[in-house]
Structure 1
C-alpha cells in the first residue's frame, strides 16, 4: 500500500512527474486517456513553464513568440489553449476507496503514452481550502459561491478565464 500524506477532509491527488517536458500532442493523448479510462477524477491541474504570446523583456520585447507547443489541444471534445509546457500533472481523485486501483490505472496509462520515465506520487499537492488570494480575488461572498475545483488556482491580478479551462463531466450542466 502507498504511503499517503493527505490532510483531514481533503481528497487525495496523484502527481505525475515526467522526467522531461511533454509536447502538446503527448499532453493531449495523456489527458484524453485519463478522462476516458479512469473513473472518479475530480480535476486535473497542469504545471510547467509558461509559453508566452510575446517576448516579455529584452531587445525583442513585445514581438510575437512562435513556439510550436503554444497551440490548442482537444481534450474531452473541447479545445483548450496550451499556455504552459507540461512538466507536472496533478489528478484529484474523488473515490478514495478505489485509490490503489486508480493509481495502478494511471501508471499503466503513463507507461503506454509517456516517451520518458516518470514518477507517480500520492498525496495532496494543491489547496483544498480557500486561500487569502482567493478572498482577495473573489471576496468572501464570491468564495462561498465559487466552484471548489477552482480554489487556489489563480493569482489575484490574473483573469480566471486566461488561466483555467473547465471541462464538464458527462451529464453535467
Structure 2
C-alpha cells in the first residue's frame, strides 16, 4: 500500500532531512519518494543562509536535494505503520499535514511506456519502476538509498 504525506507548507531542507531520516528508520517503509517544485536556477547566487538546495544525509548516504518537499509518497506493507508515520510527522511538521491513502498506488509498480523509452529493453529492477522523469537524466534526480541488513 502507498500513502501520501501532504504538509500544509513546503518543507525546508533541514526539516526534510530530519523527517526522511526518521521515516526511513521505520522497518515497514519500503520506498520513499519526495515530490515538489524544483529549486530555482538563480538560487546559486543567494547567500548561503537562504539556499535550500544542498546535500542532505539520509541513512548515512549523502543526497543532493533537488526539489522543495511538497509531498512525500511512502510504500509500506502494513496499515498499522501509518500511526507510527503520523507520530513522526507530528514531531517534524508542527504546522500541520494530511496523510492520504485514497489511492491504491501513489508510486507506480509496473513498467510503462515511459520506462521503456527511458531505459530501452534493459531489465529494469523493481526498485526503479516509477522513478523516471522524462525531462531529466536519471542519475541526477534519483537516489537509491540501501538499508544495512543487520541479521
> Same fold per TM (> 0.5)?
yes
4+ residue stretches of structure 1 with deviation over 3 A?
63-67
- In the other structure, the counterpart of 2:80 is 101
State the 1:158 CA deviation.
2.1
Residue 125 of structure 1 is matched in structure 2 by 106
- Which of 38, 63, 71 lines up with 1:50 in the alignment? 38
**For residues 109 and 45 of structure 2, what CA distance do their matches in structure 1 show?**
35
Across the aligned residues of Structure 1 and Structure 2, the Cα RMSD in angstroms comes to: 1.8
Give the alignment's TM-score, normalised by structure 1: 0.77
Q: Counterpart in 1 of 2:56?
A: 73
Q: Does 1:92 align with 2:75?
A: yes
The aligned length equals 145
Provide the C-alpha distance between the structure 1 equivalents of 2:135 and 2:17, rounded to a whole number of angstroms: 28
Pair 1:116 & 2:101 matched: no
CA distance in structure 2 between the aligned counterparts of 1:18 and 1:156, rounded to whole angstroms: 26
Native 8 Å contact 1:17 1:87 kept in 2:
yes
How far did residue 65 of structure 1 move? 4.7
Aligned counterpart in structure 2 of residue 168 of structure 1, from 141, 146, 149: 146
After superposition, where does 1:6-25 map in structure 2 within 5 Å?
Answer: 12-25=1-14
Q: CA deviation at 1:80?
A: 0.6
Matches of 1:102 and 1:126, distance apart in 2: 17
- Counterpart for residue 27 of structure 2: 39
Length-normalised TM-score, structure 2:
0.88
Structure 1 residue runs without a partner (length 5+): 1-11, 56-62
CA offsets, 1:80-124, max 9 Å, x none? 11110000000111x3xxx23200000011011113110001231
2:44/2:51 contact within 8 Å kept: no
Stretches of structure 2 lacking an aligned partner (at least 5 in a row): none
Of 121-130 and 21-30, more deviation after overlay is shown by 121-130
Partner Cα separation in structure 1 for residue 120 and residue 54 of structure 2: 33
- Rg (Cα) greater in structure: 1
- Counterpart of 2:125? 147
Q: CA separation in 1, counterparts of 2:9 and 2:134?
A: 30
